Amino acid sequence: MMKLRHLAILALTLLLPVAAQAERIKDLAAVAGVRSNQLIGYGLVVGLDGTGDQTSQTPFTVQSLKSMLAQLGITVPANVNPQLKNVAAVMVSAELPPFAKPGQTIDITVSSIGNAKSLRGGTLLMTPLKGADGQVYAIAQGNLVVGGFGASAKDGSKITVNVPSVGRVPNGASVERAVNNPFAVGTSLYLNLHTADFTTATRLAQAINDVIGPGTAEPADATSVRVNAPRDAAQRVSFVSLLENIELQPGEAAAKVVVNSRTGTVVIGQNVRVSSAAVAHGSLTVTITEGATVSQPAPMAGGQTAVVPASDIAIKEESDRMFLFNPGVTLDEIVRAVNQVGAAPGDLVAILEALKQAGALRAELLVI
């Protein structure tokens, strides 16, 4: 009797609908104002093994070198043009993470802006990194790690693996200035969704109210949700830690078909539907064969034997490429029907565009 009861419970469980996978707020949204900032700077890489800039073609490298030496108390005569092959002018870029404090280090990327062949083995000299406001937020310096390499021969042949003119310096910049952050300002904070959706915004606010209490959160628009938060900085950190681990079921994405015109990639969303439509996609194959024949003149005609070209053109049209879409077919049925007729990505794009023009494709068609 007990065994039959267990079997009945198991059968009932299998009949119940499977709950959709919930996602954390941490994966769906970000706190407004908590973001990174881009930094950029101009510097010099020295110590290269003859793979630096050709100073005759990059005069700014020589100018930068003279300016740096002048700051160190060394004066280069104006009529002297150093022909150095172990120096390269570079741009240094970095991303300053939120809440970064002075003394912390960040990774930097060093890219050649001249005609240096490789930055392998080079050392970046002290370079200030500035933000969009022109203020210096970090100082970069260090030995480069270059993933690519190149080799060349005297006859002009060469081989290059990856990109040797770009390198990185792990922890190569020291933060000198903190960026003001509005995280702890005001009585509320905003959660911005990564993908705007009215349904997700409503469900996110409801999930917060269910956990924290009614009136804690309210959707501002399809992207933002306003949440009442403690004023104390420490309490606000704990509060956000609680918020970002709340789970909810986001709204389903709008029906879209995305076509990449450059690569031929076609992505069909889950909610794409097709109304009743019959599709016939013919394929015309043209084959041209080039050959040659010998032209022999008649006896006593006085002509000469000659070889003349002969072309053979054959046209073949496929006729078994028609299929029927019933009303409300799903993504699986669309893919199965297209695969059965052996349609290539280009054929699939043509079919989808024709269905959209006919009003049978219940989705937004995006060509990127």
The CATH classification of domain 182-248, taken from the options 3.30.1360, 3.30.70, 3.30.450, 3.40.50: 3.30.1360
Residue corresponding to tokens 């960040």: 106
So what's the pLDDT on residue 6? 41
What is the distance of C-alpha 259 from the center of its chain? 16
pLDDT (tens digit, 9 = 90+) per residue, 241-273? 998 898 888 888 777 878 776 776 777 777 777
Cα 59–65–70 angle (5° rounding)?
130
So what's the pLDDT on residue 96? 93
So what's the pLDDT on residue 45? 92
Nearest Cα to Cα of residue 120 among 161, 173, 174, 61: 161
Which amino acid would we find at residue 97? P
3-state secondary structure 267-328: EECCCCEECCEEEECCCEEEEEEEEEEEECCCCCCCCCCEEEEEEEEEEEECCCCEEEECCC
Where exactly are the structural domains of the chain? Answer: 37-175, 182-248, 256-367
Question: Is the Cβ–Cβ distance between 125 and 45 less than 8 Å?
Answer: yes
So what's the pLDDT on residue 17? 41
So what's the pLDDT on residue 1? 43
Total length of the chain: 368
Rounded Cα gap, residues 19 and 289, in angstroms: 61
So what's the pLDDT on residue 8? 36
**The model scores a pTM over 0.95:** no
Question: Is the Cβ–Cβ distance between 280 and 320 less than 8 Å?
Answer: no
So what's the pLDDT on residue 105? 94
Question: Is the Cβ–Cβ distance between 131 and 138 less than 8 Å?
Answer: no
pLDDT < 70 positions in the chain: 1-20, 148-162, 261, 264, 276-292, 294-303, 307-347
